[in-house]
Structure 1
Amino acid sequence: MEFHLPLRVYIEDTDAGGIVFYVNYLKYMERARTEFMRTLGFGKAAVGNNGLMFVVSEAHVKYRRSAQLDDCLDVSANLSKLGRAGMTFYQEVYRGGELLCDGDIRIACVDCETRRPKAIPDAMRAALAAQTVSQPSGTHTD
């Protein structure tokens, strides 16, 4: 399943020149992953109630073009790899048909108290496995 989240660029996302500040692309990707999980029935509260947290353990991002104030963006969240205690998303940010930014974001599942790796619960893992796309990670480096 390819998940897409439409977003608009607001003044708070930009620098003095009206260009999106680079770190905000990571925020956009975070929002898309969060909404992807919510569509599977795993909102932030559901994850926290299981004593889990999902944290970014790696991010490989390529910035290709700049988004600007008031642009309408489309942010994808495609689960490309699912492991026992983590997953990797391949994500893209588009403006119309133009690719602005893409990358592989590795997410680790950790225990809320110990912050140590913890296996993704079986029900969540099954739901995620059904959504994994067969796109290999690392395709953003070209």
Structure 2
Amino acid sequence: MPNPSFIDNTYFYYLRVFYEDTDAGGVVYHANYLKFYERARSEMMNTLGVRQQDLLAENFAFIVKSFSVDNIQAARFNSELVVKTRIKTLKKASIIFEQWIECDEQLINRAEVLVATINLAEMKPLRIPDYIYEELLRVC
């Protein structure tokens, strides 16, 4: 499988469906798509040099505020998937991500994720630090 990378402001994250990802029917259990999307967003941030563990030490976190998902067709055990992620909207304290999953260039699933930024100590909204905002702006 290829390494994760950006192509035209879209981040490509590759994975294989493991047996543990499937339900009794041998297809990906619906909640696991959320895990796949989370992994892709996290790896995208890592690729941009944004280390979430460092942010946690500063009481800063990205949280999922809302999530909409549309299942198009089923992915199956041992399928090779690509999770594509791009920033739809970047604001000072939130990001809307467009994400979709393909198998053999066929759309499997798509989602829109609103991620907000908060101060963990106070659980209140917090602006995205400038250095992170600038990195995100580069790939919008």
TM-score exceeds 0.5: yes
Partner of 1:116: 124
- Pair 1:12 & 2:17 matched: no
Unaligned runs of 5+ in 2: 1-8
Unaligned runs of 5+ in 1: 133-142
The Cα shift of 1:37 comes to 0.3
- How many residue pairs get aligned? The number is 132
Deviations 1:57-78 (A, max 9, x none): 0111110000010000000110
The Cα shift of 1:43 comes to 1.9
Partner of 2:3: none
Deviations 1:33-90 (A, max 9, x none): 0000001101221221332111100111110000010000000110111011110000
Equivalent of 1:45, from 35, 53, 57?
53
Instruction: Kindly provide the amino acid, as one letter, of the partner of residue 31 in structure 1.
Output: R
Percent of residue pairs bearing the same amino acid type = 31
Question: Residue 79 of structure 1 aligns to a residue in which SS?
Answer: strand
- Pair 1:64 & 2:64 matched: no
Question: Residue 78 of structure 2 aligns to a residue in which SS?
Answer: coil
* In structure 1, distance between residues paired with 2:136 and 2:11: 12
* In structure 2, distance between residues paired with 1:96 and 1:46: 36
Question: Residue 15 of structure 2 aligns to a residue in which SS?
Answer: strand
Q: CA RMSD in A?
A: 0.9
- Pair 1:99 & 2:107 matched: yes
Question: Residue 66 of structure 1 aligns to a residue in which SS?
Answer: coil
Partner of 1:140: none
- Pair 1:78 & 2:86 matched: yes
* In structure 1, distance between residues paired with 2:132 and 2:38: 18
Instruction: Kindly provide the amino acid, as one letter, of the partner of residue 39 in structure 2.
Output: R
* In structure 1, distance between residues paired with 2:54 and 2:36: 21
Partner of 1:87: 95
* In structure 2, distance between residues paired with 1:122 and 1:115: 20
